[in-house]
Chains A and B, each alone.
Chain A
Amino acid sequence: MTWQPALGEEWIVLPLLTLLACTAIIIVRMRSLFAAVMLTGAYSLLGASWMLLLDAPDVAFTEASVGAGLSTVLMLGTLALTGREAKAPRQRPLVPLLLVALTGAALVYGTLDMPFYGDPGAPVQRYPSPSYLERMPGEFDVPNAVTAVLASYRGYDTLGETTVIFTAGIGVLLLLRGRPKRNESADAASRKRDRA
Chain B
Amino acid sequence: MTRSPVLRVGVKILLPYIMLFALYVQFHGDLGAGGGFQAGVIFAAAMILYSLVFGLEAARRVVPPRVAEVFMALGLLLYGGTGVAGLLAGGNYLDYAVFSPHHPQHGQHWGIFAVELGVGLAVSAVMLSIFFSFAGRRRAE
Contact, CB under 8 Å: B33 / A139: no
| Nearest opposing residue in chain A for B125, CB measure | A169
Contact, CB under 8 Å: A81 / B131: no
Contact indicator per residue, chain A 158-169, by CB within 8 Å of chain B (1) or not (0)? 110011011011
Contact, CB under 8 Å: B134 / A61: no
| Cβ-defined partner of A166 (8 Å) among B41, B72, B104 | B72
Asked if A173 is an interface residue, CB under 8 A from chain B, the answer is yes
Asked if B50 is an interface residue, CB under 8 A from chain A, the answer is no
**How many pairs of residues, A versus B, come closer than 8 Å at their CB atoms?**
139
Contact, CB under 8 Å: A166 / B126: yes
- Given A58-B33, A173-B133, A177-B133: A165 in contact with B112 (beta carbons within 8 A): no
Contact indicator per residue, chain A 72-92, by CB within 8 Å of chain B (1) or not (0)? 011001101110000000000
Q: Which residues of B have CB within 8 Å of A152?
A: 94, 96, 108, 111-112
Q: Which residues of B have CB within 8 Å of A103?
A: none
Contact, CB under 8 Å: A159 / B79: yes
Contact, CB under 8 Å: A162 / B140: no
Question: Complex formed: what's the CA distance from A28 to B108 in Å?
Answer: 47
Interface size class of A (residues with CB under 8 A): 35 or more
Asked if B3 is an interface residue, CB under 8 A from chain A, the answer is no
Contact, CB under 8 Å: A70 / B140: no
Question: Complex formed: what's the CA distance from A62 to B33 in Å?
Answer: 10
- Given A61-B38, A144-B31: A165 in contact with B123 (beta carbons within 8 A): yes
Q: Which residues of B have CB within 8 Å of A143?
A: 30-31
| Cβ-defined partner of A141 (8 Å) among B72, B105, B122, B135 | B105
Asked if B97 is an interface residue, CB under 8 A from chain A, the answer is yes
Contact, CB under 8 Å: B48 / A62: no
Interface positions, chain B 97-130, Cβ under 8 Å from A, are 97, 104-106, 108-109, 111-112, 115-116, 118-119, 122-123, 125-127, 129-130
Residue positions of A touching B, CB distance < 8 A: 57-58, 61-62, 65-66, 69-70, 73-74, 77-78, 80-82, 139-144, 146-148, 150-152, 155-156, 158-159, 162-163, 165-166, 168-170, 172-173, 176-177, 179, 183
A-B contact pairs, 15 of them (CB 8 A): A57-B33, A61-B34, A62-B41, A140-B109, A141-B109, A142-B108, A144-B31, A147-B112, A148-B30, A148-B108, A166-B126, A169-B125, A172-B130, A172-B134, A173-B130
